[in-house]
Amino acid sequence: MVDFILASGSPRRKDLLLSENYQFRVVPAGIEEWPPGKFPFHQLCEENAVLKAGEVSAKYPEAVVLGADTLVGLEGEVMGKPGSLSEAVSMLERLSGREHEVCTGVCLRCGGEKYSFFEVSRVRFKDLDSFLIEDYLGRVNVLDKAGAYAVQEHGEMLVDHLEGAYDNVVGLPVSEVSKGLARFGVLPGTS
Protein backbone atom coordinates (compact mmCIF):
# COMPACT_ATOMS: atom_id res chain seq x y z
CA MET A 1 0.00 0.00 0.00
CA VAL A 2 1.19 3.48 -0.86
CA ASP A 3 1.45 5.89 2.07
CA PHE A 4 -0.59 8.91 0.98
CA ILE A 5 -0.46 12.13 3.04
CA LEU A 6 -2.59 15.24 2.70
CA ALA A 7 -0.36 18.15 3.76
CA SER A 8 -3.35 20.31 4.68
CA GLY A 9 -5.64 20.70 7.66
CA SER A 10 -8.49 21.85 5.42
CA PRO A 11 -11.65 19.90 6.22
CA ARG A 12 -12.91 20.69 2.71
CA ARG A 13 -9.92 19.05 1.02
CA LYS A 14 -10.21 16.08 3.35
CA ASP A 15 -13.93 15.68 2.53
CA LEU A 16 -13.30 15.94 -1.23
CA LEU A 17 -10.68 13.16 -1.11
CA LEU A 18 -12.86 10.99 1.16
CA SER A 19 -15.79 11.42 -1.24
CA GLU A 20 -13.60 9.83 -3.94
CA ASN A 21 -12.72 6.91 -1.62
CA TYR A 22 -9.04 7.80 -1.11
CA GLN A 23 -7.32 6.47 1.99
CA PHE A 24 -4.81 8.91 3.48
CA ARG A 25 -3.58 10.55 6.62
CA VAL A 26 -3.42 14.24 7.38
CA VAL A 27 -0.14 15.95 8.27
CA PRO A 28 -0.65 19.72 7.89
CA ALA A 29 2.34 21.68 6.60
CA GLY A 30 3.63 24.21 9.08
CA ILE A 31 5.40 26.60 6.73
CA GLU A 32 4.94 30.29 5.99
CA GLU A 33 3.30 30.72 2.58
CA TRP A 34 4.72 33.07 -0.05
CA PRO A 35 2.94 36.45 0.21
CA PRO A 36 0.96 38.06 -2.63
CA GLY A 37 3.31 39.87 -4.98
CA LYS A 38 6.14 37.34 -4.68
CA PHE A 39 4.94 35.57 -7.85
CA PRO A 40 2.19 36.18 -10.43
CA PHE A 41 -1.22 35.04 -9.11
CA HIS A 42 -1.46 31.55 -10.65
CA GLN A 43 2.20 30.79 -10.00
CA LEU A 44 1.80 31.94 -6.38
CA CYS A 45 -0.86 29.27 -5.76
CA GLU A 46 1.33 26.58 -7.30
CA GLU A 47 4.51 27.72 -5.48
CA ASN A 48 2.70 27.69 -2.12
CA ALA A 49 1.48 24.15 -2.84
CA VAL A 50 5.07 23.15 -3.70
CA LEU A 51 6.28 24.65 -0.40
CA LYS A 52 3.66 22.76 1.62
CA ALA A 53 4.23 19.41 -0.11
CA GLY A 54 8.00 19.84 0.13
CA GLU A 55 7.95 20.54 3.86
CA VAL A 56 5.92 17.42 4.66
CA SER A 57 7.72 15.28 2.07
CA ALA A 58 11.06 16.06 3.74
CA LYS A 59 9.71 14.36 6.89
CA TYR A 60 8.09 11.44 5.02
CA PRO A 61 10.23 10.88 1.87
CA GLU A 62 8.67 7.47 1.09
CA ALA A 63 5.11 8.84 1.11
CA VAL A 64 3.12 10.50 -1.67
CA VAL A 65 2.37 13.97 -0.33
CA LEU A 66 -0.36 16.29 -1.60
CA GLY A 67 0.02 20.02 -0.97
CA ALA A 68 -2.53 22.59 -2.14
CA ASP A 69 -3.21 26.31 -1.93
CA THR A 70 -6.36 28.16 -2.99
CA LEU A 71 -6.53 31.91 -3.55
CA VAL A 72 -9.03 34.35 -5.03
CA GLY A 73 -7.93 36.88 -7.64
CA LEU A 74 -9.82 40.02 -8.61
CA GLU A 75 -8.32 42.21 -11.34
CA GLY A 76 -4.75 41.71 -10.15
CA GLU A 77 -5.56 41.74 -6.43
CA VAL A 78 -4.87 38.47 -4.59
CA MET A 79 -7.25 37.64 -1.77
CA GLY A 80 -6.25 35.10 0.82
CA LYS A 81 -8.02 34.44 4.09
CA PRO A 82 -9.39 37.53 5.82
CA GLY A 83 -7.74 38.47 9.10
CA SER A 84 -10.96 39.81 10.64
CA LEU A 85 -14.69 40.10 10.02
CA SER A 86 -14.27 43.71 8.88
CA GLU A 87 -11.70 42.54 6.30
CA ALA A 88 -14.17 39.81 5.24
CA VAL A 89 -16.89 42.44 4.72
CA SER A 90 -14.47 44.51 2.62
CA MET A 91 -13.56 41.48 0.46
CA LEU A 92 -17.20 40.57 -0.17
CA GLU A 93 -18.02 44.20 -1.03
CA ARG A 94 -15.20 44.22 -3.61
CA LEU A 95 -16.37 40.90 -5.11
CA SER A 96 -20.01 42.05 -5.29
CA GLY A 97 -21.42 42.04 -8.83
CA ARG A 98 -18.05 41.13 -10.35
CA GLU A 99 -16.29 38.13 -11.80
CA HIS A 100 -13.19 36.79 -10.08
CA GLU A 101 -10.85 33.82 -10.42
CA VAL A 102 -10.36 31.04 -7.93
CA CYS A 103 -6.99 29.36 -8.39
CA THR A 104 -5.87 26.19 -6.64
CA GLY A 105 -2.25 25.19 -6.88
CA VAL A 106 -1.48 21.51 -6.34
CA CYS A 107 1.79 19.69 -5.76
CA LEU A 108 2.36 15.94 -5.44
CA ARG A 109 5.72 14.81 -4.08
CA CYS A 110 7.31 11.47 -3.40
CA GLY A 111 10.97 11.71 -2.52
CA GLY A 112 12.68 13.56 -5.37
CA GLU A 113 9.76 13.19 -7.77
CA LYS A 114 7.42 16.17 -8.05
CA TYR A 115 4.33 16.96 -10.12
CA SER A 116 2.64 20.35 -9.76
CA PHE A 117 -0.04 22.34 -11.56
CA PHE A 118 -2.78 24.90 -10.97
CA GLU A 119 -6.43 25.05 -11.98
CA VAL A 120 -8.57 28.16 -12.41
CA SER A 121 -12.34 28.57 -12.14
CA ARG A 122 -14.28 31.78 -12.70
CA VAL A 123 -17.02 32.94 -10.36
CA ARG A 124 -19.41 35.85 -10.80
CA PHE A 125 -21.06 37.21 -7.67
CA LYS A 126 -24.55 38.65 -7.43
CA ASP A 127 -24.88 42.27 -6.34
CA LEU A 128 -24.51 42.03 -2.58
CA ASP A 129 -25.96 44.60 -0.21
CA SER A 130 -24.82 45.08 3.39
CA PHE A 131 -27.79 43.09 4.76
CA LEU A 132 -26.99 40.06 2.61
CA ILE A 133 -23.29 40.23 3.53
CA GLU A 134 -24.14 40.44 7.23
CA ASP A 135 -26.59 37.53 6.88
CA TYR A 136 -23.96 35.43 5.07
CA LEU A 137 -21.26 36.18 7.65
CA GLY A 138 -23.71 35.18 10.39
CA ARG A 139 -24.12 31.76 8.77
CA VAL A 140 -20.57 30.92 7.64
CA ASN A 141 -17.21 31.13 9.41
CA VAL A 142 -15.20 32.78 6.65
CA LEU A 143 -11.95 33.54 8.46
CA ASP A 144 -10.32 30.34 7.14
CA LYS A 145 -11.53 30.81 3.56
CA ALA A 146 -9.83 32.62 0.69
CA GLY A 147 -11.91 35.56 -0.52
CA ALA A 148 -14.08 35.36 2.63
CA TYR A 149 -16.56 32.84 1.26
CA ALA A 150 -17.21 29.14 0.78
CA VAL A 151 -19.14 28.16 -2.34
CA GLN A 152 -20.30 24.95 -0.61
CA GLU A 153 -21.70 26.82 2.41
CA HIS A 154 -24.70 28.94 1.38
CA GLY A 155 -22.90 29.85 -1.84
CA GLU A 156 -26.29 30.31 -3.48
CA MET A 157 -26.60 33.55 -1.49
CA LEU A 158 -23.55 35.00 -3.26
CA VAL A 159 -22.83 33.22 -6.53
CA ASP A 160 -24.57 34.18 -9.75
CA HIS A 161 -22.49 32.01 -12.12
CA LEU A 162 -19.59 29.55 -11.89
CA GLU A 163 -17.44 28.52 -14.84
CA GLY A 164 -14.99 25.66 -14.39
CA ALA A 165 -14.63 22.99 -11.74
CA TYR A 166 -16.87 23.49 -8.70
CA ASP A 167 -14.58 21.41 -6.47
CA ASN A 168 -11.67 23.68 -7.46
CA VAL A 169 -13.59 26.57 -5.90
CA VAL A 170 -14.17 24.42 -2.80
CA GLY A 171 -10.38 23.91 -2.58
CA LEU A 172 -9.20 20.93 -4.63
CA PRO A 173 -9.68 20.11 -8.34
CA VAL A 174 -10.32 16.41 -7.72
CA SER A 175 -10.38 15.23 -11.33
CA GLU A 176 -6.89 16.58 -12.06
CA VAL A 177 -5.61 15.53 -8.63
CA SER A 178 -6.82 11.96 -9.28
CA LYS A 179 -4.87 11.87 -12.56
CA GLY A 180 -1.77 13.08 -10.76
CA LEU A 181 -2.18 10.60 -7.91
CA ALA A 182 -2.50 7.73 -10.39
CA ARG A 183 0.95 8.66 -11.75
CA PHE A 184 2.31 7.93 -8.25
CA GLY A 185 0.33 4.70 -7.88
CA VAL A 186 -2.29 6.16 -5.54
CA LEU A 187 -5.77 4.98 -6.54
CA PRO A 188 -9.14 5.31 -4.80
CA GLY A 189 -9.67 2.57 -2.22
CA THR A 190 -6.13 1.20 -2.49
CA SER A 191 -3.78 3.79 -1.03
Catalytic annotation, residues: 69
Closest among 133, 139, 128, 69 to 103, alpha carbons compared: 69
Q: Give dist(CA 78, CA 36) in Å, integer.
A: 6
DSSP class of 189: T
| Cα separation values, 30 from 63, 107, 127, Å | 17, 16, 37
Facing residues of 68 across strands? 106
Please report the sign of the dihedral spanned by the C-alpha atoms of residue 175, residue 177, residue 179, residue 182.
negative
**Beta-carbon neighbour count of residue 26 at 10 Å?**
14
Q: Give dist(CA 187, CA 45) in Å, integer.
A: 25
